[in-house]
């Protein structure tokens, strides 16, 4: 699928459509199904409290907090599944547009980050359905940490590749 991004017209369409889709899904996350502040969570984004729990009790407390119903958590996670596909396509099309060095490695890292995001969501949904254990909380923490590290690496790689293009090699 990411091979379609080799064609310039497809790349431009993918960048435009995925960029607009990211904005629409952010609207859904923050306006239609907003997660309200969670007690005992210092983060401005409640979703981060579910992604970086200290243990099973912490994850269970975050997911059962009175500020957010389980239906709101489920809806937010439901919309995160297409968001994963969209941000992978968006970043891959940006990478193709600026001809990042080692594009196959870049795409593999990007797809791995998306897969980790998928695993993280499935674990959180499992915790919503059957309760959170310490093992689940640890796996969510590891998946989220690796996902964010890989996405940061991809974004930094894009910035680095673009700066090489702008300022010469």
Q: Predicted confidence band at 168 (pLDDT cuts at 50, 70, 90)?
A: low
pLDDT at 165: 65
- Domain-located, residue 69: yes
CA–CA separation, 39 vs 32, rounded Å? 21
Residues 6+ positions from 164 with CB-CB distance below 8 Å: none
Is a pLDDT exceeding 60 seen at residue 4? no
- How far apart, in whole angstroms, are the C-alpha atoms of residue 124 and residue 159? 32
Quote the number of domains for the chain: 1
76 close to 114: Cβ distance less than 8 angstroms: no
**What pLDDT is stored for residue 17 in this prediction?**
81
136: containing domain: 2-162
- Percentage, residues of the chain above pLDDT 90: 27
Q: What is the C-alpha to C-alpha distance for residues 109 and 3, in angstroms, rounded to an integer?
A: 15
Question: Helix, strand or coil for residue 67?
Answer: coil
153 has pLDDT over 90: yes
Q: Please, which residues have CB within 8 angstroms of residue 155's CB and are 6 or more apart in sequence?
A: 91
d(C-alpha 24, C-alpha 162), whole Å: 26
Q: What's residue 131's pLDDT?
A: 84
Residue 146 lies in a domain: yes
* In a domain? residue 23: yes
Structure confidence by residue, pLDDT tens digits, 110-133: 999 999 999 999 999 999 888 889
Residue holding tokens 């904005």?
Answer: 23
In a domain, 169, yes or no: no
Torsion of CA 39, 42, 48, 51, to 10 degrees: -80
Average pLDDT along the chain: 82
Higher pLDDT, 43 or 127: 127
Asked if residue 113 is part of any domain, the answer here is: yes
How many Cβ atoms sit within 10 Å of the Cβ of residue 79?
16
Residue 167 within any structural domain of the chain:
no
Per-residue pLDDT tens digits for 50-79: 888 888 888 888 888 766 778 888 888 888
């Amino acid at each position: 699928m990411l091979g379609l991004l080799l064609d310039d017209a497809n790349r431009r369409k993918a960048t435009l459509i995925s960029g607009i889709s990211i904005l629409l899904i952010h609207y859904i996350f923050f306006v239609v199904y907003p997660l309200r502040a969670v007690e005992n969570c210092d983060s401005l984004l409640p979703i981060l409290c579910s992604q970086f729990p200290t243990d099973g009790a912490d994850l269970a407390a975050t997911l059962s907090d009175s500020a957010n119903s389980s239906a709101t958590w489920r809806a937010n996670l439901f919309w995160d599944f297409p968001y994963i596909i969209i941000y992978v396509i968006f970043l891959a099309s940006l990478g193709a547009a600026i001809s990042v060095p080692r594009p196959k490695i870049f795409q593999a890292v990007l797809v791995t980050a998306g897969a980790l995001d998928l695993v993280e969501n499935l674990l959180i949904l499992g915790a919503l359905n059957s309760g959170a254990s310490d093992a689940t909380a640890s796996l969510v923490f590891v998946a989220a940490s690796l996902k964010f590290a890989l996405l940061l690496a991809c974004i930094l790689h894009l910035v680095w590749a673009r700066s090489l293009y702008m300022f010469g090699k």
